[in-house]
Structure 1
Amino acid sequence: MKIPDKDALIREHHPEMVQKRLSQGGKSQNISDAVLGGIDGCITTFSVVSGSVGAGFPSSVAVILGFANLFADGFSMAISNYESSKASQEFAEGIKKLEERHIDEIPEGEREEVRQIYRAKGFDGELLEKVVETITADKKVWLEVMLSEEHGLSKSTSKPLTSAGVTFLAFVSVGAVPLIPYIVPYLEMSQQFSISAFLAGVMFFLIGMLKSVALAKPVFLSGLRTLVTGGAAAALAYFTAYFLREIFNIAVA
């Protein structure tokens, strides 16, 4: 998300631009789904690769386990994201129906809630009563105020299927990158692992940069932080597999 300069901010806050922007409503943001799916996909497959190398398994094992985990974990994560988004959506719908019933059956009680909400914001006297009267004159506005002010619900909600799809695609596309060297037959195992580690590091750094650009954060530091996180997970997988191999005295072919 690029930070606009002062002239751009002035143009964006012209009455016509403000009206246009507000009329469009909130937009669902899927950057978090893409970042989460990409990071988790890359960590999943490269951790499998690292664990296989640490355990002394041949390249074929890394490929089989890597791709099996790639699609299984990607699907599982997408379903989890779908269910989470769906639950949030259903919760918001339930609150909306409840507030609609309250407005229909106990309007005076709901007006008092509006009154106390805006009294807490500093409104008082005739101005406060005018605000309450104006808001409660339109049921749609009244309902929106209750949802946002009383329950903290946003108008912009994520679409469960879209969130799941973005998560799965990011997981699979990014997670497949560390496995690419293992499907090249003429490379030695040490070369495959070195190239895989390099590609995984690049992907971790790029995902961190993507996140920083979207959220207007320092690019290099965000990329470095994501790289360190992914590297730490892979190192944990490698050394865990290595120590277990030593403990159980597993022979390496």
Structure 2
Amino acid sequence: MDGNTSTHLLISQEEPDKRTHIQTETEQPKPNGPWKGECVKSVVYAGLDAIVTCFALISSISGGHLSSVDVLVLGFANLVADGISMGFGDFVSSSTEKDMAAKERQVTEWEINNQHGRLQQHEDDLIQRYQALGMDIHDAVTVVKVFSKYKDILVDEKMTIQKRMLPPDQAEKPWKNGLITFVAFLIFGSAPLLSFILLLPFTRNESIKFWGACVLAALALAILGLAKAKIAGQNYVFAVASTLITGAIAAASAYLIGWGLRNLAGVQE
């Protein structure tokens, strides 16, 4: 084997390593995707609302220097009432949105099946929308011509692209969303109230119980802040901090209102 051949083999062996090195340097890391799970959104946002609402109520009651019994009675009564309202609201909004999408799809399907003279206009509208999204005119025409052979796909595309509305999800169950929202509201909203139950045998000091509620509420908010960051792919520290700050502002406002109304009414300890 002569020197030129040896040199050629050496270069050939080094080239793959070099290409691999260049590809590694230029390749961007894959970003973290959102946390996918059925009804996760309902759990997180119902839990956040429950903790903030319940702790704000506790703060206002504590600011008014009421007893632990008052806190528990008013807290659980408010928790159940708000939980029912939240769950029913989620059910109504989800079912209404689904019914609206189903009705709009019927209208769109009728337009495509019965307005034969305007079918070309529907296709032209889709072509223009695809061009606006950056698609080449020839590719846009090809795509729309293919879709026109399949009416169901054409209906869905017309709803999504032209009417800016997603087709109805047949697998979605509004009652299930409402039930999950209600249960999540009760579970997470009970966290601040646990302090007044767990510490009842050990102390009668209302301030200690209130600070225990602060700790439990902060812990529950931090957990849901982490879940929110996982779902949305956000920064964990920022999500937890923003969640805690929101809860602190709500609680401080409620406490000051309770304290101020108590002094305004001239109630003495």
Please indicate, yes or no, whether the TM-score normalized by the shorter chain is above 0.5.
yes
1:212 aligns to what? Answer: 229
Mapped to 2, the partners of 1:172 and 1:190 lie a distance apart of: 24
2:187 equivalent to 1:173: yes
Residue type matched to 1:111 in 2?
A: Q
2:32 equivalent to 1:32: no
Structure 1 contact 208–219 (Cα < 8 Å) conserved: yes
Equivalent residues in 2 for 1:147-166, closer than 5 Å: 147-155=159-167, 157=169, 158-166=172-180
TM-superposed deviation, 1:98: 0.3
Mapped to 1, the partners of 2:112 and 2:263 lie a distance apart of: 68
1:53 aligns to what? Answer: 62
2:203 equivalent to 1:194: no
Q: Which runs of 5+ in 2 are unaligned?
A: 1-26, 31-35
| Greater gyration radius | 2
Mapped to 2, the partners of 1:123 and 1:112 lie a distance apart of: 19
- Percent of counterpart pairs with the same letter? 24
C-alpha change, 1:7 and 1:237, in structure 2 (3 Å) is closer
2:249 aligns to what? Answer: 232
Match of 1:177, SS?
A: coil
Match of 2:266, SS?
A: coil
C-alpha change, 1:128 and 1:48, in structure 2 (3 Å) is closer
2:155 equivalent to 1:143: yes
Mapped to 1, the partners of 2:260 and 2:137 lie a distance apart of: 69
Residue type matched to 2:217 in 1?
A: A
Structure 2 contact 101–167 (Cα < 8 Å) conserved: no
1:18 aligns to what? Answer: none
TM-superposed deviation, 1:119: 3.3
Match of 1:63, SS?
A: helix
Mapped to 2, the partners of 1:129 and 1:220 lie a distance apart of: 47
1:79 aligns to what? Answer: 88
TM-superposed deviation, 1:150: 1.2
Structure 1 contact 38–171 (Cα < 8 Å) conserved: yes
C-alpha change, 1:131 and 1:49, in structure 2 (3 Å) is closer
Structure 1 contact 44–69 (Cα < 8 Å) conserved: no
C-alpha change, 1:174 and 1:28, in structure 2 (3 Å) is closer
C-alpha change, 1:181 and 1:124, in structure 2 (3 Å) is closer
TM-superposed deviation, 1:155: 4.4
Greater Cα shift, 186-195 or 225-234: 186-195
2:137 aligns to what? Answer: 124
2:113 aligns to what? Answer: 104
TM-superposed deviation, 1:8: 10
TM-superposed deviation, 1:104: 1.7
Residue type matched to 1:175 in 2?
A: G
C-alpha change, 1:80 and 1:143, in structure 2 (3 Å) is same
1:20 aligns to what? Answer: none
1:88 aligns to what? Answer: 97
TM-superposed deviation, 1:114: 2.1
2:72 to 60, 63, 74: 63
C-alpha change, 1:162 and 1:139, in structure 2 (3 Å) is same
Residue type matched to 2:193 in 1?
A: L
Q: Aligned-pair RMSD on alpha carbons?
A: 2.2
Residue type matched to 1:62 in 2?
A: V
Structure 2 contact 193–213 (Cα < 8 Å) conserved: yes
Q: Which runs of 5+ in 1 are unaligned?
A: 1-5, 10-26
C-alpha change, 1:246 and 1:139, in structure 2 (3 Å) is same
Residue type matched to 2:66 in 1?
A: F
Mapped to 2, the partners of 1:65 and 1:221 lie a distance apart of: 33
CA deviations over 1:4-37 (Å, ceiling 9, x no partner): xx7997xxxxxxxxxxxxxxxxx88523211210
